[in-house]
């Protein structure tokens, strides 16, 4: 991974997971695994977040919450689906209240498999998200520049 220009902030939301992936996300941020060494910081405020970590599938009640959190995040942004439930619905796919994975309501960029996803896998996903974010912010800047020229 090349040197980073910025420290991306991370927003975590528990869709309808069993809690396993959530505590692994937290474990990935605590000293033993320490995702913070990549400059990533956990925040509770969607307005300041760059990377959206979502665990668990989407159900009828939280789909609006997830959509709203995604919309509140400033561009550019990256979505990481952590755990098999967020990827596809997992073991709960056939439950009456599960609509599917996180990609049924918001665009997902990176899928982290596992039940529960291991901290190493989560860190790998976050690192990929950081790289993608760099790329997107370059594109975003270029787009803004072009707009200015055009105006």
Partner 1 sequence: MAEVIHPDEILDEIEVSDLLTKALSLKKDNFRLSQACAAYANEKIELSYSFANDDTYQFTTLRVVIDPETEVPSITEIIPPAVFYENEMKELFGVKIKMISTDLQNRLYRIEEETPMIPKKGGN
Partner 2 sequence: MGKRSVIPYGPQHPVLPEPIHIDLVVEDETVIEAIPSVGFIHRGLEGLAEKRDFNQMTYIAERVCGICSFQHGMGYCEAVERVFGVEVPNRAKYLRTIWAELGRMHSHLLWLGLLADGFGYENLFYQCWRVREKVLDLQEMTSGGRLIFSVNCVGGVLKDIPQEKLDIILKTLDEVEEECKIIKDTFFQDYTVQSRLQGVGILTKEQAHDLGCAGPFARASGIRTDMRKLGYAAYPDLDFEPIISTAGDSFARCYIRTMEVFQSIDLLRQAIAKIPNETDLVTPVKGNPNGEAFMRVEQPRGEAVYYVKANGSPNLDRFRVRTPTFANLPGLCEMLKNTKLADVGLLVITIDPCVSCTER
Residues that bind partner 2 (CB under 8 A): 12-27, 30-32, 43-46, 56-57, 59, 61-62, 65, 69, 91-92, 94-98, 115-116, 118
Quick one: what does residue 121 bind among partner 2, partner 1, none, with the CB cut-off 5 to 8 Å set by partner type? none
Q: Which residue's CB is nearer to partner 2, number 91 or number 142?
A: 91
Q: Which residue's CB is nearer to partner 1, number 58 or number 82?
A: 58
List b or e across 72-94, with b for residues whose CB sees 16 or more CB atoms inside 10 angstroms.
ebeebbbbbbbbbbbbbbbebee
Question: How many other CB atoms are there within 10 angstroms of residue 125's CB atom?
Answer: 25
Distance CA 102, CA 108 (A): 7
Q: Which residue's CB is nearer to partner 2, number 57 or number 134?
A: 57
Return the half-sphere exposure (C-beta side, CA atoms, 13 A cut-off) of residue 36: 10
Question: Which 8-state DSSP code applies to residue 45?
Answer: -
Distance CA 52, CA 64 (A): 15
Per-residue x/- track, 112-151, partner 1 (CB under 8 A):
----------------------------------------
Please identify which residue in 3, 44, 61, 94 interacts with partner 1, judged by CB under 8 A: 61
């Amino acid at each position: 991974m090349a040197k980073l220009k910025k420290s991306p902030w991370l927003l975590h939301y528990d869709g309808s997971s069993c809690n396993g992936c959530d505590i692994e996300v937290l474990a990935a941020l605590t000293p033993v695994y320490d995702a913070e060494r990549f400059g990533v910081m956990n925040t509770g405020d969607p307005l300041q977040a760059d990377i959206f970590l979502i665990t668990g599938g989407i159900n009828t009640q939280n789909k609006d919450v997830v959509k709203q959190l995604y919309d509140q995040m400033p561009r550019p942004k990256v979505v990481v689906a952590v755990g098999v439930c967020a990827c596809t619905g997992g073991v709960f796919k056939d439950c009456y209240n599960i609509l599917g994975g996180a990609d049924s309501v918001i665009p997902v960029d990176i899928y982290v498999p596992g039940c529960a996803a291991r901290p190493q896998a989560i860190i790998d996903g976050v690192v990929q998200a950081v790289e993608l974010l760099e790329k997107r912010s370059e594109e975003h800047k270029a787009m803004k520049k072009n707009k200015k020229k055009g105006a």
